[in-house]
Every structure is written in structure tokens, then in C-alpha cells.
Amino acid sequence: MHVSSGRWLYGFLLTLTTTMLWGVLPILLKEVLQVMDPYTVTWYRFLSAGLVLFCWLAAKRRLPSIRALSSRNRGLLIVAIGGLACNYVLYVMALQRLTPGTMQLIIQVAPIMLMFGSMLVFRERFGIGQLIGLLVLIPGFGLFFNQRLLELLTQMTSYTTGILIAIASAFSWALYGLAQKQLLTIWSSVTVMMVIYLACSVLLWPLASPLEVLQLSTLQRWLLLGCCLNTLVAYGAFAEALAHWEASRVSATVATTPLFTFSLVALGSMLWPSVIEPELLNSLAYLGALMVVGGSALIALAPSLIQNLLNRRLRRLSITPPPAP
């Protein structure tokens, strides 16, 4: 099992970096997707990030040996590669049908899936705090979709399809997160990401159309470059954060990503109304978004919070003076 290094401040800063970059990512992708298909966008992101990491590791003479992996670790690597490739592609497919804010909010089901996955794989317990988090999160989704709830339940529209694809993307991410956490016990985070990125780029190569980049405008090419850099920095920071901070706290901080996205969309729609469309949500929907974020964060933090409370109570009992004779 992987154990964090204990450098919590470094881990927190890395997690915050990941959160901000993931918050802006769907806004950048939304514009690029007007011309480029999901497979090609994802292929460029994987290839560029993988090549940069490969060159860096080669210069340091730290390239890994796949043959040295045990059969179990090779299986974990295959799961991580498949999980991240599906997560990326499905995310972009869903984004074609949804707004950036909605997309980021739906991805908050990933911590729930990760929680149930941890219960199955690592035999983790389901506590009262996690139950409370679910009881906050589920009604939050109901409030968020209050304007289109009937459509979701009765019609298979493009919007409904986008929601289902986004849920599949979250499931893929949970698989990737479970496998990658264990791979960090044998490789550094940079090595793990280099192998996964390059493997994913090879996997998607037959489906990509690289020449589509010539059809992008100057702005869209810069945005595509931003997406590629986002891939390199955000996931690298996420992988490194898991090595230095508790996974529950990393997940809780990342849960605030939709708040960054909603804020950036609101700001961008005022500054560049012809490029970024505003989120057309009522007050109940925004309240629901806050509940989803809060519930997701609580699910991630509940085990460590309860453990801390128990430890404090035990310390108080241990220092209580004995009764007077």
C-alpha cells in the first residue's frame, strides 16, 4: 500500500494547482472542439505531454523498464492506461453536449465511484460521515438539474446523452485513480504519467486526424497548446500530490473544481461574450452545485475527520486526572 510522504503543504499546493487547471480546461476545450474531434484533441494532449516527460526522463537517465514489472503491476498499468484514455475521450465527448460547468459538476460522481471501488479493493469501511456526504450530494444533483429534470428522466436528448457519457468518464477516472495509486509504490509520478501518456497516444493514434490542426484559427491553436500544457502540468501535479498528501484530502480539494469553472465562465462571458457563453442556471441550480461540491468533499474527508475526532477524545481521556481519594 502507498503511504504519503507527509509533506502536506507541498501536496496541498500541488492539489490546488490541479484544481485551478482542471477548472479552466473545459472552457479551453469547448472552443477547440468547434473544429477538432474528441479523438484528435485527446491524442495531441497525450502525445505532447508524453514526449516532454520522455525527453526529461531520458536526459536524467531514468527511463523505466516495463519488463521489470511483475504480472500484477502490469495488470495495474493496463487498467490505468485504459481508464485514463477512456476518461479523456469520454470527457471531451460529453463536453460537446454540455456546458463546462455542468460537465465539471457531473464529474463529482467520480469520488463516489472511487469510494465504492476502495471498499471493494482495499476493504475500506463505509462510515457515517460518508453517508452524510451522499445525503447532501444526491439532493444537490436534483436541485442542479431542476430546470431540465423532466427531460433527463423522460427523453434521450443530446443533453441526456451528454450526462450519461460524463458519468462513464467519471467511472473511468475512478479505475485510473485506483490503479495509479498503487503504481506510485514502484515508480515516481513522472515515470507513471510518461508511460501512461505515451501508451494512450499509441492507443488513440488510429482514431486521430492530426491534420485537423491546420483548420484551427490562431486563437484555437493557442487554446489547444493550453490544453496540452494543462495535461502535462495538471495530471503531473495530481500524481505528485497523491505521493505527498492523503488521498482523501486531495480528493476533497479537487472537488471544488466546479466552483472555479462556474466563476471563470461567468467572468469570461462578461469579458469575451462572443467566445464564452454564460451558464443559464437559476438560483436553485447554483444552490445544488454548492451541495454537490460540499457532499463530494465530505465523502472524501469523512474518514480522516472522524479519525481525528476519535484521536482527540482518546488524548483527552488519557490526560484526565484520576479522581481524588
Helices (H) and strands (E) in the chain, counts: 13, 0
Whether the per-residue pLDDT at 139 is higher than 60: the answer is yes
| DSSP track, 221-284 | HHHHHHHHHHHHHHHHHHHHHHHHS-HHHHHHHHTTHHHHHHHHHHHHHHH-TTTSPPP---HH
**What's the pLDDT score for residue 111?**
73
Whether the per-residue pLDDT at 109 is higher than 70: the answer is yes
49-95 per-position pLDDT tens digit: 999 999 999 998 888 888 778 888 889 999 999 999 999 999 999 99
Q: How many CB atoms neighbour CB 307 within 10 A?
A: 13
What global pTM score does this model have?
A: 0.85
Q: What does DSSP assign to residue 321?
A: P
Q: Cell numbers at residue 187, please? A: 515508480
153-201 per-position pLDDT tens digit: 888 889 999 999 999 999 998 899 888 878 878 888 788 889 999 999 9
Q: What does DSSP assign to residue 320?
A: P
**What's the pLDDT score for residue 131?**
85
> Lowest-confidence range among 28-42, 115-129, 252-266?
115-129
| DSSP track, 114-167 | HHHHHHHHS-----HHHHHHHHHHHHHHHHHTTTTHHHHHH---HHHHHHHHHH
Higher pLDDT, 1 or 173: 173
The pLDDT of 143-154, averaged and rounded, is 87
Rounded to the nearest angstrom, the gap between the alpha carbon of residue 55 and the centroid of all alpha carbons in its chain is 26
| DSSP track, 170-184 | HHHHHHHHHHHHHHT
> Lowest-confidence range among 14-18, 90-94, 300-304?
300-304
**What's the pLDDT score for residue 86?**
95
Whether the per-residue pLDDT at 33 is higher than 80: the answer is yes
The region, left, alpha or beta by phi > 0 then psi within -120 to 50, assigned to residue 56 is alpha
Tell me how far apart the alpha carbons of residues 164 and 67 are, in angstroms, rounded to a whole number: 38
Higher pLDDT, 182 or 21: 21
